[in-house]
Amino acid sequence: MSVLSAIGVSRTYRRGPEVIHAVDDVTLHLEPGVLTIIQGPSGSGKTTLLNVLAGWEPPDSGHVEWRGVERHPSTLAWTDLTVVPQRVGLLSELTVAENVTLAARIRSEPLDTGGVYSRFGLDDLEEAFPGELSAGQQQRVAIIRALIDRPAAILVDEPTSSQDEDNARLVLSEIQSLVRSGATALVASHDPIALEFADRVIRMRDGRLDET
Ligand SMILES: Nc1ncnc2c1ncn2[C@@H]1O[C@H](COP(=O)(O)OP(=O)(O)OP(=O)(O)O)[C@@H](O)[C@H]1O
Ligand SMILES: [Mg+2]
């Protein structure tokens, strides 16, 4: 059964007199153990679709299902669904370690982060604040934060946009290893490297999906 699905989802924006069909009647089922890459030109609606699946934007029509049941995704636990937004979204007043462990601390659960910072090339940066990190380092922290709780589904928007080639492969292989343990991942990416890690590739154009 699908973990997370968009069912007939549309999302329209108005910009002055212009009506933009950012997502246009999209149905997409994300299956366990599948890493799906969504590609498409800038403005084709990838981020909007991810935001609807994350529950951050309401669809104008259609709905989101979790394990086959209609559900508002914002009611899901961080251990069910995590998100890495295109603008990364770290909390600037918290340190790297505080950002990474925030969800576990809210749940009052211990969290073993052993080795993760050095695996992601962030040695000795746990106590730094996001503003003291490069864009690529900040993006890797946001990816650690989304992976560390071993969610059943992860939505990641352009995870390699600020990474060099080695780090691009690193973050994609970490997402892939979560998927190999049974999670599902939807990754929006323009990066050809991402295709090396894809189980499934979808193209988006003018708000519509086209499976390749
Ligand atoms: N808040 C908004 N108000 C008006 N239009 C918006 C808004 N957000 C997005 N759009 C428009 O919706 C369309 C889809 O945008 P979206 O950000 O989903 O594209 P994208 O595929 O993620 O692009 P990119 O590859 O540049 O990240 C674009 O035409 C964009 O201008
Ligand atoms: Mg985008």
Distance CA 91, CA 85 (A): 13
Task: State the pLDDT at residue 212.
Answer: 63
What is the number of the ligand 1 atom nearest to the C-alpha of 45? 18
Report yes or no: 25 and 8 within 8 Å, Cβ to Cβ. Answer: yes
Beta carbon of 195 within 6 Å of any ligand 1 atom? no
pLDDT value, residue 86: 87
Of the candidates 134, 78, 124, the one whose C-alpha atom is nearest the C-alpha of residue 101 is 78
CB 196 within 8 A of CB 35: no
pTM of the model: 0.95
Residue with CA closest to ligand 1 atom 17: 47
Sites in the chain below the pLDDT cut of 70: 212
Q: Tell me, what's the pLDDT at 114?
A: 85
Domains within the chain, CATH numbers bracketed: 4-88+151-211 (3.40.50.300)
Protein residue closest via CA to atom 29 of ligand 1: 43
Nearest alpha carbon, ligand 1 atom 4:
13
Distance from Cα 86 to the centre of ligand 2, integer Å: 6
Closest ligand 1 atom to residue 190 Cα is 25
* Residue pLDDT, tens place only, 7-35: 999 999 998 999 999 999 999 999 999 99
Question: Parallel, antiparallel, or unpaired for β 61-66 and 4-15?
Answer: antiparallel
DSSP label at 191?
-
Instruction: Determine whether 85 is exposed, middle or buried from the number of CB atoms within 10 Å of its CB (0-12, 13-18, 19+).
Output: middle
